[in-house]
Copies of this chain bind each other. A is one copy, B any other.
Amino acid sequence: MKDCKCRIVVDAMGGDYAPLNVVLGAVAAVEENADIDVILIGQKDEIMKVLKENNKSFKEENIVNASEIIDMKDTPTSAIKEKRDSSISIGTKLVREGKAEAFVSAGNSGAVMAAATLIMGRLKGVSRPTIGATMPTEKGSVCTVYDVGASVDSKPNHLMEYALLGSIYSKEMLNISNPTVGLLSVGEEDSKGNELTFATSKLLKEAPINFYGNVEGRDIMKGTTDIVVCDGFVGNIVLKLAESFLGFLKTKIRNYADKGILNKLKALIVKYTLKDALSDIDYQSYGGVPLLGVNGICIIGHGSSSVLAIKNMIFKAKEMCDKELIHKFNQALEEYGKSK
């Protein structure tokens, strides 16, 4: 692990509770780890106001002003082009110019992806950056699904890139020594699938990854493989369906509780027991997800990110930086490019 000075630009204006949660999250990160060099970017007076109101201090030379705000209603690509003085545009530019190693934002995720791709640029050998979602499994391990919505209508070589980048990420960041990669399909057999999986399967068999073969929808939460690759359209639906399951369960238990005092009591036991039994599904502590394939570290957080989530996003960026992920991605992409 390199003992580098990692400069992390944090988008103070991004998220439903910005700048409050972001500023407090950044302060907490620096308080916990003095080695982290955080640059807060956004409307400086707003940032100063939050610090003052909450009795917190932050190095003033590390606060960079950005007059414009890209909000949730903005169309990603045009916002990047038009709002050049936004925290997202300036933040990604700092990474591009080598003035920082990472950009962290809980803002308009489409705009962050667009800015990272257009301003920071793609790694050589990457056609489309990707976002993975880490899902809990029966085994207690996690299964990371790529892509979950960075793009749609993915082509075979895109899925190959997801597998390559995802394998390095799982190895370095999730400590899985030789991560298995499954290709999401409608049957385990090679003969089951669609045009995309047939063509992708051939590429994955020859790629320098630990390819398992086809997996099905049920294999994700079973934990059959460490990584699952699929078209971003499919992955996005998979992620949102999986996330809705707990809500479904809660509603069913609430309806059950409404049917009498004994039911209410049983429902209460169920609620607390499930909270315990499913404690490894703690979305908040995960913080954010990295956008892989861009030329720099980029962590995208949920709009509703808490102070803890922001802090964790900063720590994740720091870890990716210390572990030289970008360098390792570049090495793997170069080797793969030569082998073709």
Contact across chains for B248 and A276 when beta carbons are under 8 A apart: no
Chain A count of residues within 8 A CB distance of the other chain? 50
Interface segment, one of A39-47, A171-179, A235-243, A285-293: A235-243
Copies in the complex: 2
Minimum CB–CB distance for A120 against chain B, Å = 23
In the complex, chain B residues whose CB is within 8 Å of the CB of A234: 233-234, 237
- Output the least CB separation between A282 and chain B (Å): 13
Partner of A255 from B136, B220, B232, B277 at Cβ < 8 Å: B277
Residues of B within 8 A of A251 (CB): 138
Residues 240-257 of chain A, each 1 if its beta carbon lies under 8 Å from chain B, else 0: 111111011101110110
Q: Which 10 A-B pairs have the closest CB atoms?
A: A217-B240, A217-B241, A256-B277, A218-B244, A217-B237, A152-B194, A138-B251, A186-B236, A218-B240, A221-B248
Query: B-contacting residues of A (Cβ < 8 Å)?
Result: 136-138, 140, 149, 152-153, 184-186, 193-195, 216-218, 220-222, 230, 232-234, 236-245, 247-249, 251-253, 255-256, 266-267, 269-270, 273-274, 276-278
8 A-B pairs besides A137-B248, A222-B247, A253-B273 with CB distance below 8 A are A138-B248, A186-B232, A218-B244, A245-B245, A249-B249, A252-B277, A253-B274, A269-B270
